[in-house]
Structure 1
Amino acid sequence: MDKLNISRLFLILVLLYLSGRGNANVNFKETPVDVDGKLKQLNKPAVKTIQSEDGDVIDCVDIHKQPAFDHPALKNHVIQMRPSFDLKNEKSSTENEPSKLVVSQTWQRSGSCPEGTVPIRRIQRQDLLRANSVDRFGRKPQEIVYKLNSTNQKDGHFPYINNTELNLPTMVNRSGATLVTVGFNYIGAKGDINVWNPNVESADEFTTAQIWVKGGPGDDFESLESGWTVNPQLYGDKRTRFFAHWTKDSYKTTGCFDLTCSGFVQTSSQVALGAAIEPVSSEFGGQYYITVGIYMDPQTSNWWLKFGADIAIGYWPASSLLFYLNHSSTLVEWGGQVYSPNVKKTPHTKTGMGSGQFASGLYGNACFIQNAAIVDYSWALKYPQWVGTWADEYYCYTAYNYQQSYGTLPVFYFGGPGQNPNCP
């Protein structure tokens, strides 16, 4: 075969290869070997496999063979099977119509995992091909610039709590609307997070409603997070999904969503991180919520993630993974966040936060977090003594801590549509 024909054959093979990946939004530096190796690393051998009706595959993996133990610091880790504390899921006084606790994930209708295993959403080849980098699969985007908000806002949004000026880090590609508390050492936080399915405009954008437990300096903080998200690039669809996330260095090089990297130790066989939750709320219709709590174990310093009234999903081993959060948290946030290259610029993204409606819409229209509580060293759930609201782009997404009447605790409303006449 002459050189011309060899060149033509090579060109045809390249075109065929690229055409098979043409819709994958991939980084073309990745090779099949990279993808296959990452899949082998992420997907552990299953004791049982469950095919969910929504297309997810849930692998029931031996608890001792889960991804957490790929972390060098956890090679000889002894699993703590349950937390040493027993916090009651007490309800605060509100006067809203009764909401309903979301207790189901779609996959649970198709089976259950046996004791001694943990349910893990299987990562498929197409999941990796959607990622910008195989190495960064499951992580929040790295291209972040930090700025400190230190100027007083004239719109009612605060840089002060209890007359203390705050320097809240903001990220160029993320827009948040949150309820914030500082001023104490916190060893836990919880909230009932209203569940919606907002619009996400582009495949490389995502939206969340969540709790953050943070420690450390503003430009290099540690954060433990959980709530719900719509994240098409990570999960391949626009379903509302329960997630967990952690970082040791403000998303630069550590941490990830769910179990897509080593670190989080799962103990529950009932809940799968990254799996879809249902039903979701509708405008002036049924309102549903999930109860999410993150608590530090006083005996081990492990930070436990709880779902619902009594399901302890697992924990982040603070002594192995973290530094500032090894003893307590110094800042807690409740609310929402939108990631997009098109926030804080014109034209603005149309990706919604919360329900996609502004906080002023209140119950049945706007997304809310009720029964927000912290835990301090008294080891009691309580409403924070000092709180304030913050919105990065108050014409695009808003925050409103609403108290219906004297003697009731506030309900925090947040969200918005993104692009609108006042947010072009």
Structure 2
Amino acid sequence: MGKVLHIPSMGFKVIFILFGLVVTTAYSFVNHGGSFSRHKVLEVERKLKHLRKHSLKTIRSEDGDIIDCIHIYKQPAFDHPALKNHKIQMAPTYNSTKKDQTTTWTRSRSKTKTAKMAEESSFSVISQIWQKSGRCPKGTVPIRRIRKKDILKAHSIEEYGRKKPSLSHQQVGHLNQNLDSFVQQKNHSKAILITMGYRYLGAKGDIRVCNPSVEKEDEYSTSQVSLINGAYNDFECVESGWAVNPSVYGDRQTRLFVYWTADASKKTGCFDLTCPGFVQTSNQISLGAAIYPTSLPGGLPYQITIYVYKDPYTNNWWVQYGEKTNIGYWPPELFRAMWSNAESVEWGGEVYSSTVGHTPHTATQMGCGGFPDVFHESGSMTRMRIHDNSEFLKIPEWVDDFSDEYNCYDVMYVGDYVEDPEFYYGGPGKNPKCP
């Protein structure tokens, strides 16, 4: 007969307790189909609770977003150490609406058919979906509620909402090294118009609003106006436009965004209000909220006007949406070089993907998804302006267009025989020429 193994009752209890501890520990690392440490889950819950505790009103948007109306002095910006005693500037001192040298009749005379159609489509038609469901009262700012599952996907809470940094440095070819230092980034593909050579205090543009296809959850496609200062590996930047960014917003809707960094996105900066920094003043616009309608082939090319500019008295970098609404600003305490001015301005599109520059290439689209044309298939920028040391906004005297993957995303600048230049950019990503 075989021997029977007898386990003492006390030993069995120890084994059972140890097994229970293993199961409990394993469970703490699993949350809704993903693997997260219990510490990370608790940190995320603490952060979200902190963001929501100051909500005075909650608006549920028909697209699924939740907008919290937060007391203006309880917004995330004041969690930044440099802004503990910051006093909000409620309105800029610089009146930008009357500072454009180029008259309306001159602009309309030189427009192409597409640009004229864009001008005829009222800017007021573009709105945010959440606005159908309510308004935030004065003294509050509308903040799109961050979802727990979206922030848990990030490698860390600190990295949520931040662009992936890059330290690569490649030669651009016919462009000089200074231009290279601003545009060439690993895993980032750009199709832009760029100007340099002055002290830039502001930049403006009308951006056609599209809804490009984004292939993977950790990729994004943006169109924006950017002001930049610094070297390629440590640049400072403020920018605004629209984005399709599933990793930040949890879906593939086209959303209004602002972004900043003081160190090439290594440790500072983020989209919208996902980290402390940007001070919002408007109770009408919610950063990160979906905008509609978007341009479709054969339809009206809907567009938004973005103007990023420096207040000459406070040095705050303001973001204006449309021709009237000042959303808020980045205080100068966030920056070093940008405290005084920007060294370059970019208009155009950007795609982030780990397969940029590789085969197979990402199928994430830029702009409207088509290669540049003057009809309705590509992204476009019109009424591009800069503010340098002069009093007025003006058309930049020197520009160069650039694409680091012209078979995937290309550029077309229309500057000859027109009094107001136009810029077309974008593409489908993966295609027969970009396998």
Secondary structure of the equivalent of 2:96? coil
- Evaluate the alpha carbon distance shift between residue 392 and residue 250 of structure 1 in structure 2; reply closer, same or farther with a 3 A threshold: same
Task: Confirm or deny that 1:147 pairs with 2:169.
Answer: yes
- Partners of 1:370 and 1:411 within 8 A in 2: yes
Could you tell me the percent identity over the aligned residues? 46
Per-residue CA distance 1:173-194 (angstroms, 9 max, x = gap): 1100000000111100010000
Rounded Cα–Cα distance in structure 2 between residues aligned with 1:227 and 1:121: 17
Task: Confirm or deny that 1:106 pairs with 2:123.
Answer: no
Q: Which residue of 2 aligns with 1:270?
A: 284
TM-superposed deviation, 1:234 = 0.7
Rounded Cα–Cα distance in structure 2 between residues aligned with 1:79 and 1:18: 42
- Partners of 2:295 and 2:302 within 8 A in 1: yes
- Evaluate the alpha carbon distance shift between residue 71 and residue 277 of structure 1 in structure 2; reply closer, same or farther with a 3 A threshold: same
Rounded Cα–Cα distance in structure 2 between residues aligned with 1:179 and 1:208: 14
Match of 1:389 among 401, 421, 424: 401
- Partners of 2:144 and 2:287 within 8 A in 1: yes
Question: Which runs of 5 or more structure 1 residues have no equivalent in the other structure?
Answer: 153-158
- Partners of 2:62 and 2:133 within 8 A in 1: yes
Per-residue CA distance 1:254-296 (angstroms, 9 max, x = gap): 0111001111111000000000000000012121001001010
TM-superposed deviation, 1:380 = 1.0
1:76-115 paired onto structure 2 within 5 Å: 76-88=85-97, 91=104, 92-93=107-108, 94-96=111-113, 97-99=116-118, 100=121, 101=123, 102-115=125-138
Alignment root-mean-square deviation, CA: 2.0
- Evaluate the alpha carbon distance shift between residue 145 and residue 195 of structure 1 in structure 2; reply closer, same or farther with a 3 A threshold: same
Give the letter for the 1:59 counterpart: D
Q: Which residue of 1 aligns with 2:72?
A: 63
TM-superposed deviation, 1:166 = 5.3
Task: Confirm or deny that 1:50 pairs with 2:21.
Answer: no
Q: Which residue of 2 aligns with 1:123?
A: 146
TM-superposed deviation, 1:20 = 3.6
Q: Which residue of 2 aligns with 1:244?
A: 258
- Evaluate the alpha carbon distance shift between residue 230 and residue 65 of structure 1 in structure 2; reply closer, same or farther with a 3 A threshold: same
Secondary structure of the equivalent of 1:31? helix
TM-superposed deviation, 1:11 = 4.6
- Partners of 2:347 and 2:381 within 8 A in 1: yes
Give the letter for the 1:281 counterpart: S
Rounded Cα–Cα distance in structure 2 between residues aligned with 1:29 and 1:338: 33
Give the letter for the 1:337 counterpart: E
- Evaluate the alpha carbon distance shift between residue 29 and residue 218 of structure 1 in structure 2; reply closer, same or farther with a 3 A threshold: farther
Give the letter for the 1:312 counterpart: N
TM-score with structure 2 setting the length? 0.89
Per-residue CA distance 1:360-390 (angstroms, 9 max, x = gap): x322111101111101122211110000001
Secondary structure of the equivalent of 1:88? helix
TM-superposed deviation, 1:150 = 4.9
Name the stretch that deviates more: 368-377 or 131-140.
Answer: 131-140
Name the stretch that deviates more: 121-130 or 88-97.
Answer: 88-97
TM-superposed deviation, 1:5 = 2.8
TM-superposed deviation, 1:250 = 0.8
Q: Which has the larger radius of gyration?
A: 2
- Partners of 2:117 and 2:300 within 8 A in 1: no
- Partners of 2:167 and 2:232 within 8 A in 1: no
Q: Which residue of 1 aligns with 2:300?
A: 286
Task: Confirm or deny that 1:174 pairs with 2:183.
Answer: no
- Partners of 1:375 and 1:381 within 8 A in 2: yes
Task: Confirm or deny that 1:217 pairs with 2:217.
Answer: no
Rounded Cα–Cα distance in structure 2 between residues aligned with 1:124 and 1:238: 15
- Evaluate the alpha carbon distance shift between residue 423 and residue 174 of structure 1 in structure 2; reply closer, same or farther with a 3 A threshold: same
Give the letter for the 2:146 counterpart: I
Secondary structure of the equivalent of 1:123? coil
Question: Which runs of 5 or more structure 2 residues have no equivalent in the other structure?
Answer: 1-11
Rounded Cα–Cα distance in structure 2 between residues aligned with 1:263 and 1:252: 15
Task: Confirm or deny that 1:349 pairs with 2:362.
Answer: yes
- Evaluate the alpha carbon distance shift between residue 57 and residue 398 of structure 1 in structure 2; reply closer, same or farther with a 3 A threshold: same
- Evaluate the alpha carbon distance shift between residue 151 and residue 10 of structure 1 in structure 2; reply closer, same or farther with a 3 A threshold: same
- Partners of 1:145 and 1:172 within 8 A in 2: yes
TM-superposed deviation, 1:72 = 1.0
Give the letter for the 2:280 counterpart: Q
